Amino acid sequence: MIKKYIYGEPFPTGAAVKSIAASEDKLPFFESDNKGGFSYALSENDIVYGLGEQIRGINKRGWQYVSWNYDNPNHHEDTRSLYGSHNFIIVSGQQTFGAFFDYAGKMEFDIGYTKRSEMRITADKNDLIVYIITGENEKDIVKQFRQLIGRSYIPPFWAFGYGQSRWGYKNEQDIRTVAEQHKAAGIPLDSIYLDIDYMERYKDFTVDKERFPDLEKLAADMKEQGIHLVPIIDAGVKIEDGYDVYEEGVRENYFCKNAEGGDFVGAVWPGRVHFPDFLQPEARKWFGEKYSVLTKLGIEGFWNDMNEPAIFYTEDRLSDTCAEIEKLTSGNMGINEYFRFTGMVAGLNGNMGDYDKFYHNVDGKMIKHSEVHNLYGMNMTRSAFEALKEICPEKRTLFFSRSSYIGAHRYGGIWQGDNKSWWSHILQSMQQLPALNMAGFLFTGSDTGGFGCDTTEDLMLRWLQYSLFTPLFRNHSADGTRFQELYRFDNVSAAAEMIKIRYSLIPYLYSEFLKAALNDEMMFKPLAFEFPGDDMAKQTEDQLLLGNELMIAPVYKQNALGRYVYLPEEMMLIRMSAWDKYETQILPKGHHYVDVKLDELVFFIRSNKAIPFGKPTANTGEIDLSSLEMIGFPNSTYLLYSDNGYSTEPEESIKISALSK
Ligand code: GLC
């Protein structure tokens, strides 16, 4: 059952799609202070799940989180905000219920941080909607919540293939080389991403003619090899005379305004930019239609970036900072002056104060950006999604975004933002998955191999052994870091085998994805969701159930040649050194130390279940569902969901086939 409680005058976020009458009774479970604060007394063994992309564990207890979409490529345990804000939690324990705090501005979730036995949730203003969901168990609560927020985005089938990306592919030849090298090394590939370097001076919807003289031909040549080009689109629009997007935006008042009514100026990659006012339906439509500049060249997928929005600096703050620095540096810089100096420079990027300085026009009313901050990225992807439905109604377009709020899951996927080539970020990504799924984000994954910092071959192999299970499977790295295309490493064949295994698993992964999307379920679940009475399952933070059949337990520590795994029931261990070379072993419920060599993939099949496994292909276009083998326990059956892979109404072509082992 879902109950809705309205406080003050909430801004309509667009998260919920089902209309529910507001309850008149007192808010259950929480004490509200009627100032935007909600407290809950945590019992010793309560677990708090959720908060989507937030850092730390699957169980969120013991930290304070801030919902404020924020560009933080250096995130670690100490971080409080990331790229997306997903204010849905499930308390599981003494009382089990879900709660969604639908609020577009800044919110704090103190989950046993200030006081171990108290959860305190605070919105900046007392203008929000709280939904309380009760049900049979956690899975039922998630299902009800997902029905409230609407069906998750389903990408085209090819989006399940492997993607190669790097900020720094500078020209057409770089892209052709990536395709050739993958082919030469026998590594399947479905997409190559175009980062900001394809644009002319970082201007959205332009192509640099010198470096990419014929993008249409390049896209067509790639497509012939089964490879899709996926360009990036950034939120900020460069201020440059003669640039149509800039000039139209100014003319039509489609950009966010400053307090004086002029177009607000921030700075991102191109230097000075204006930010489209994605909260205006007309601006959304206008910006969305611009994607056709690229679809006309044969592009079928996009990633939307810097849409928190990230602001490197604003001109006002920059000039104040420069003036202050001049003063500071004119005398002897002692410790205080030095810290002030470094603090001021570091404080230019993503400065909270800057988000108070611009406004959205919502039905003629000027709304301060900070009050609706967390909706910006979602509305950018909505703009693309809605326009592309009109422009290319016959097929699904791939979209994923960096920034998001609940509701954005209907328009596209998200990647988990900038990470690092750190071992800890494998685990971090894994712990985000179930919470993202609860909030509707099914098409997601991390920058495999790590975006910032230099990767290593062993880190890449271990990361592949995890990421090959995630719907979005993309190797992406930052300019200036060590190259990490798989063909660059010594043991290319080990990496190639991992990608081949991914392709063999795609029929299963896509099928489980469709089930999760169409039935409002999670694709990745904490163990305790299926084994609720099991205390060890409740504490397991580094294993996940994938669909109804698998359990994954990746190795995420350097130089480890195995790990402890907890089996909540008897399971079949699958050990693969190549897609066509695998061993199985049935292990009883309990703790096991499992050897996992660097070039091996190990995963588990649940008791009395089996999965379909295909033959790897060069790309998803060649996947043949008619020759699937079944791996797992004898006498088990599996319901394979498939569709034509492109229809915008997946139900139109959905096929369910019963396979048995
Ligand atoms: C941002 C994105 C990253 C991209 C870079 C350059 O940091 O998160 O993925 O490569 O910008 O566009």
CATH label of the domain that carries residue 635: 2.60.40.4040
Confidence of residue 649 (pLDDT cuts 50, 70, 90): confident
Total domains in the fold of the chain: 3
Cβ(234) – ligand 1 distance below 6 Å = no
pLDDT of residue 589: 98
pLDDT given for residue 430 in this prediction: 98
Boundary-marking domain end, from 98, 123, 149: 149
Pocket test for ligand 1, best of 195, 203, 312, 479 (most atoms within 8 A of CB): 195
In short, whether 195's Cβ falls inside 6 Å of ligand 1 is yes
CA 520-371-75 angle, 5° bins: 65
pLDDT at residue 650 greater than cutoff 90: no
- pLDDT bin (cut points 50, 70, 90) of residue 310 is very high
- Our answer on whether the CB atom of 349 is closer than 6 Å to any ligand 1 atom is no
For residue 204 and ligand 1, the question of a CB distance below 6 A is answered with: no
What's residue 461's pLDDT? 98
478 in a structural domain: no
Give the C-alpha separation, 88 to 27, whole Å: 16
Cβ 341 under 6 angstroms from ligand 1: no
Percent of the chain at pLDDT > 70 equals 100
Residue 161 pLDDT exceeds 90: yes
The total number of residues written for the chain in this structure: 661
Please give the number of the atom of ligand 1 that sits closest to the Cα of 232.
12
Helix (H) or strand (E) holding 545: strand 544-546
- Measured in angstroms, how far is the CA atom of residue 566 from the centroid of ligand 1? 37
Is 435 within a domain?
A: no
Specify the 3-state DSSP secondary structure of 163.
strand
Backbone angles phi, psi at 66, to 5 degrees: -125, 120
Domain membership flag for residue 250 = no
Identify the residue whose C-alpha is closest to ligand 1 atom 9: 418
DSSP annotation string for 601-636 = EEEEEETT-EEEE----SSGGG--GGG-EEEESTT-
Decide: 233 in ligand 1 pocket, CB within 6 A.
no
Which domain range does residue 322 map to? 314-348
How many angstroms does the Cα of residue 426 sit away from the middle of ligand 1? 19
For ligand 1, atom 4, name the residue with the nearest CA.
167
**Which of ligand 1's atoms lies nearest the C-alpha of 418?**
8
CA–CA distance, 649 with 352 (Å, rounded to integer) = 41
At 281 the three-state DSSP class reads helix
Smallest Cα–Cα separation from 43: which of 142, 100, 112? Answer: 112
CA R_g for the chain: 24
Is residue 530 in contact with ligand 1, taking CB distance under 6 Å?
A: no
What is the rounded distance in angstroms from the CA atom of residue 355 to the CA atom of residue 370? 5
Task: Answer with the one of 111, 131, 149 that is the final residue of a domain.
Answer: 149
437 found inside a domain:
no
Whether 89 maps to a domain, the answer reads: yes
Cα 247 from Cα 396, distance rounded (Å): 30
| Tokens read off for 40 | 């809950």
- Quote the ligand 1 centre to 305 CA distance (angstroms): 7
Query: By the 8 A CB rule, do 299 and 219 touch?
Result: yes
Q: Residue 307, class by beta-carbon neighbours within 10 Å (0-12 exposed, 13-18 middle, 19+ buried)?
A: buried
The answer to which of 315-319, 351-355, 439-443, 480-484 has the lowest mean pLDDT is 315-319
Q: Which of 555, 590, 553 is nearest to 570 (CA)?
A: 590
In 420-507, where do the E strands start and end?
Answer: 444-445, 447-448, 473-475
Catalytic residues: 305, 308, 418
**CATH number for the domain that contains residue 123:** 2.60.40.1760
Among 324, 348, 372, residue at a domain's last position: 348
Instruction: Using a pLDDT cut of 90, give the percent of the chain over it.
Output: 97
Is position 33 within any domain?
A: yes
- Integer Cα distance of 418 and 303 in angstroms: 13
Q: Is the CB of 305 under 6 A from ligand 1?
A: yes
pLDDT at 135: 98
Whether 453 is in the pocket of ligand 1, judged by its Cβ within 6 Å, is no
Residue 545 phi, psi (nearest 5): -90, 135
**pLDDT in the model for residue 584:** 98
Residue ranges of alpha helices (H) inside 469-618 are 492-518, 527-530, 535-539
Measured in Å, residue 167 CA sits from the centre of ligand 1 at 7
Q: Is 196 in the pocket of ligand 1 (CB under 6 A)?
A: yes
3-state helix, strand, coil in the chain (%, to 5): 30, 25, 45
Of 315-319, 403-407, 496-500, 539-543, which gets the smallest average pLDDT?
A: 315-319
**Which residue out of 53, 69, 72, 306 has the highest number of ligand 1 atoms within 8 Å of its CB and is therefore the one to mutate?**
306
Q: What mean pLDDT do residues 313-341 have?
A: 91
Q: Are 236 and 228 in contact (CB under 8 A)?
A: no
* Unique residue bearing structure tokens 């008149």: 24
Q: Tell the residue nearest (CA) to atom 7 of ligand 1.
A: 418
For residue 465 the two structure tokens come to 């052994």
Q: Average pLDDT over the chain, rounded to whole? A: 97
Q: Which residues are CB-neighbours of 647 under 8 A, at least 6 positions away?
A: 395, 396, 653
pLDDT of residue 331: 86
Contact 168, 485 (CB under 8 A): no
- The pair of structure tokens assigned to 113 is 């941080």
pLDDT greater than 90 at residue 652? no
What ligand 1 atom has the least distance to the C-alpha of 306?
Answer: 1
C-alpha 380 to ligand 1 mean position (Å): 16
Distance from the CA of 304 to the center of ligand 1, in angstroms?
10
User: Does the pLDDT at position 35 exceed 90?
Assistant: yes
CA dist., res. 549 & res. 102, Å (int): 34
Query: With 90 as the cut, is the pLDDT of residue 94 above it?
Result: yes
* 230-239 tens-digit pLDDT: 999 999 999 9
Q: What is the DSSP letter of 26?
A: P
State whether the beta carbon of 167 lies less than 6 angstroms from ligand 1: yes
Can you tell me which atom of ligand 1 is nearest the CA of 166? 10
Whether residue 611 is contained in a domain is answered as yes
Tell me the average pLDDT across 250-258. 98
3-state secondary structure of 275: coil
Q: What is the DSSP string of 329-378?
A: HHS---HHHHHHHHHHHHTTTT-GGGGGS-EEEETTEEEEHHHHGGGHHH
Q: Is residue 542 lining ligand 1, measured as CB closer than 6 Å?
A: no
pLDDT of 651 strictly over 90: no
Residue 414 CA: distances (Å) to CA of 136, 285, 381, 607? 30, 21, 10, 32
Distance in angstroms (rounded) separating the CA atoms of residues 133 and 57: 23
- The residue with tokens 């990036």 is 232
Nearest to 134 by CA among 120, 147, 124, 145: 145
Q: Which residues contact 415 (CB under 8 A, 6 or more apart)?
A: 303, 400, 402, 444, 445, 446, 447, 472, 474, 476
**Mean pLDDT (whole number) for 119-132:** 98
Q: Between 486 and 337, where is the model more confident?
A: 486
| 118 CB-contact burial (10 Å; exposed 0-12 / middle 13-18 / buried 19+) | middle
Residue 384 lies in a domain: no
CA dist list (Å): 546 to 437, 454, 502, 512, 657? 11, 30, 14, 8, 20
Residues 6+ apart with CB under 8 A from 268: 202, 234, 235, 236, 306, 309, 310, 311, 312
Q: Is the dihedral of CA 526, 527, 528, 530 positive or negative?
A: positive
Region 170-178: mean pLDDT is 98
Ligand 1, atom 8, lies closest to the CA of 418
Burial of 375 (0-12, 13-18, 19+ CB in 10 A): buried
